[in-house]
Structure 1
Amino acid sequence: MRVESPAQSPTVDVELGGVAAADSADRVRTRIQSLARYAPRPIIAATVRFSSPSGRRHTLVAHATLALPGVRLDAFGTGPTVGEATDQVRTRLRRQLLDLAHGRRKHAASPSASDDEQAVARHVTRMPACASPEQAVLALEQLGLEFGLFLDTAAGRETVVWRGPDGRHEFAAAQPIALTEAEAIERLMLTGEPWLFYTDRRTGRGRIAHRRGDHRYGLIVP
């Protein structure tokens, strides 16, 4: 069903994150701009960010956001190519716009997830509150962890250290994506990543959402 809207095509900010050629951005922009016809209110702005989950080189993740007056819509999509990830995220945003137009927008998490699956266990990081990268590596080994959240004394912000497939220790090099807790868990469900380092949209602090051994989800906070 189509909802006519007088709104002009919204400005769409596309961040490819180095996962595809620059000319892909125009095709993504066109696909997302076409959603304006389904919007019951003008789309003020839109962003689409792409990334590649660690350890899954042939999977791309698209995170799209639409800003409308009084409401913000978010959706994730995955696929082996930018085009397929974009199509998936567009389909989900279109469904949300139609729900919004008919007053049936859902605030709950993914309908495919049960309450048990959505249960999140929160706990404070076991890593040192403040540490240098060298101290973080030592703490990771002493605690027997695969990854850990700590406040990098040099950078002045939370970061994560983990043990790579080759046994070497790696650190997050850039500021992580800003998400809500629900969005972080949704991305884990969608991509199958074992953990996700992100910036909490409300507090601005770094957090790690992760899969637990009991197939539920955990949240490591500073």
Structure 2
Amino acid sequence: MDYIQVSLAEAIPEQAREYASARIGSLDRYAPDRVDFAWINLTSDKAVIHAHARLELKWVEVQAYAEGETVTEVIDLVRERMRRQLVSMQDVLAHN
């Protein structure tokens, strides 16, 4: 993946940046085309942590959102949602 931007709210620990980058960065193997840009934003609202992620491929944008109680939980949830979308895209392309 060429570029991953990780944005953290004040309440999110800095070590979340590396975990998010590694987890989202590993999605490129599921993409039907090269991922030009990846972005993940982590915020918190009292006891809930929110993750919004976006991947830009040559011809399409993939987005996902998740919320949970821990940083690793929301990163893993948003990654899995994006992975499912990418795999689904590959399936559609394979059958066309």
Normalised to the residue count of structure 2, the TM-score between the two structures is: 0.90
Q: Once the 2 structures are TM-superposed, how far is the Cα of residue 19 of structure 1 from its aligned partner? A: 2.5
Aligned to 1:89: 78
Aligned to 1:26: 18
Aligned to 1:61: 50
Distance in 1 (CA, whole Å) between partners of 2:5 and 2:29 is 19
Q: Does 1:101 align with 2:95?
A: no
CA deviation string 1:95-116 (max 9, x = no partner): 0000111117xxxxxxxxxxxx
CA deviation string 1:26-62 (max 9, x = no partner): 1110000110111110000000011223xxx111110
| 8 Å Cα contact 1:12/1:46 also seen in 2 | yes
Distance in 2 (CA, whole Å) between partners of 1:24 and 1:73 is 22
Distance in 1 (CA, whole Å) between partners of 2:69 and 2:2 is 27
| 8 Å Cα contact 1:31/1:90 also seen in 2 | yes
- Relative contact order (alpha carbons < 8 A, sep ≥ 6): 1 or 2 greater? 2
Larger Rg: 1
* Correspondent of 2:44 among 33, 44, 52: 52
Q: Does 1:72 align with 2:61?
A: yes
| SS of aligned partner of 2:47 | coil
| SS of aligned partner of 1:61 | strand
CA deviation string 1:94-151 (max 9, x = no partner): 00000111117xxxxxxxxxxxxxxxxxxxxxxxxxxxxxxxxxxxxxxxxxxxxxxx
Aligned-residue CA RMSD in angstroms? 1.3
Distance in 2 (CA, whole Å) between partners of 1:10 and 1:27 is 17
Distance in 2 (CA, whole Å) between partners of 1:93 and 1:76 is 9
- State the percentage of identical aligned residues: 33
| 8 Å Cα contact 2:12/2:44 also seen in 1 | no
Aligned length: 93
| SS of aligned partner of 1:44 | strand
Q: Once the 2 structures are TM-superposed, how far is the Cα of residue 21 of structure 1 from its aligned partner? A: 1.6
Please list every run of 5 or more consecutive structure 2 residues that lacks an aligned counterpart in the other structure: none
| 8 Å Cα contact 1:10/1:36 also seen in 2 | no
CA deviation string 1:47-104 (max 9, x = no partner): 0011223xxx111110000000110011001111111000000000000000111117
Distance in 2 (CA, whole Å) between partners of 1:19 and 1:33 is 23
CA deviation string 1:146-189 (max 9, x = no partner): xxxxxxxxxxxxxxxxxxxxxxxxxxxxxxxxxxxxxxxxxxxx
